[in-house]
Amino acid sequence: MKKNHFINFIFFGFIFFALFAFNIAQAQDDRFVSLIVDPKTSNIELYWKNHKNELIKNFDNLKDYLENKGKRLRFAMNAGMYMTDYSPLGLFIQKQRTIRKLNTGTGSTNFYINPNGVFYITTNKKAHICKTSEYVNDGSVNYATQSGPMLLIDGKINAEFTKGSTNVNIRNGVGILPNNKVIFTISKDYVNFYDFAEYFKLKGCTQALYLDGAISAMYLPEKNWEQLDGDFGVMIGITD
């Protein structure tokens, strides 16, 4: 009898270990490149135009712009969808100044898949992601960008997504971890919305927001990921 208990213990222990290892492997999914930062200690800002009111447009220009200010660009990523003139499609706040108001319209692009949302950082350097319908600025929002759709809502994958969907593309997004750290992620190859959202969930995020696809790029030298091609509207930049 004792021998059977021992065998059962070994068997279920193996199953537990296999499931644990699977979850770890999923959380470290090499289909994606990610950076996790603490907004309290990392200088996360949104950029669009330079001091001459000229579009910055790409990571090379952003690097030069910041270097002229004595700063080094550690990380950059496009920060949401934009119109043909590179102006932001949704809400854009920079240094507490609202440059474009919240977009509550309807349309056929990914931006309008329900619900879309807002990623923002307050003046006390706390990061948030919320549904557009729940966004409120009490005057403390320092930076904000609106995009869509929401990937995770209170820890659950957006019900609009279908597991196994063939709607695949390069995608980038942002999530909030329980410790208020922020994770910025881009897929290395084509991925559907469900799998992209699941990646953020496995990382432990409760809220996550899709930023864009196809044209998405990331500049992250510390992980040997330097996509310098392409022009964008608003960009996320982290400096030393």
Q: How do the pLDDT tens digits run along the chain, 240 residues long?
A: 555 555 554 554 444 444 444 444 444 579 999 999 999 999 999 999 999 999 999 999 999 999 999 999 999 999 999 999 999 999 999 999 999 999 999 999 999 999 999 999 999 999 999 999 999 999 999 999 999 999 999 999 999 999 999 999 999 999 999 999 999 999 999 999 999 999 999 999 999 999 999 999 999 999 999 999 899 999 999 998
Asked whether the CA dihedral 22, 173, 137, 52 is positive or negative, the reply is: positive
> What's the whole-model pTM score?
0.88
What pLDDT score was predicted for residue 203?
A: 97
Three-state DSSP class for residue 214: coil
Give CA–CA dist 38/128, Å, rounded.
12
Two structure tokens written together for 147: 């995009």
What pLDDT score was predicted for residue 16?
A: 46
| Residue 206 CB neighbour total at 10 angstroms | 16
Give CA–CA dist 224/206, Å, rounded.
28
Give CA–CA dist 154/59, Å, rounded.
32
Supply angle C-alpha 189, 192, 194, rounded to 5: 130
- With a CB cutoff of 8 Å and minimum separation 6, the contacts of 190 are 168, 169, 170
Please answer whether residues 195 and 40 qualify as being in contact, where contact means their C-beta atoms are separated by less than 8 angstroms.
Answer: no
Q: Left, alpha or beta for 130 (phi > 0: left; psi -120 to 50: alpha)? A: beta
Half-sphere exposure of 122 (CA within 13 A, CB side): 12
| Residue 89 CB neighbour total at 10 angstroms | 24
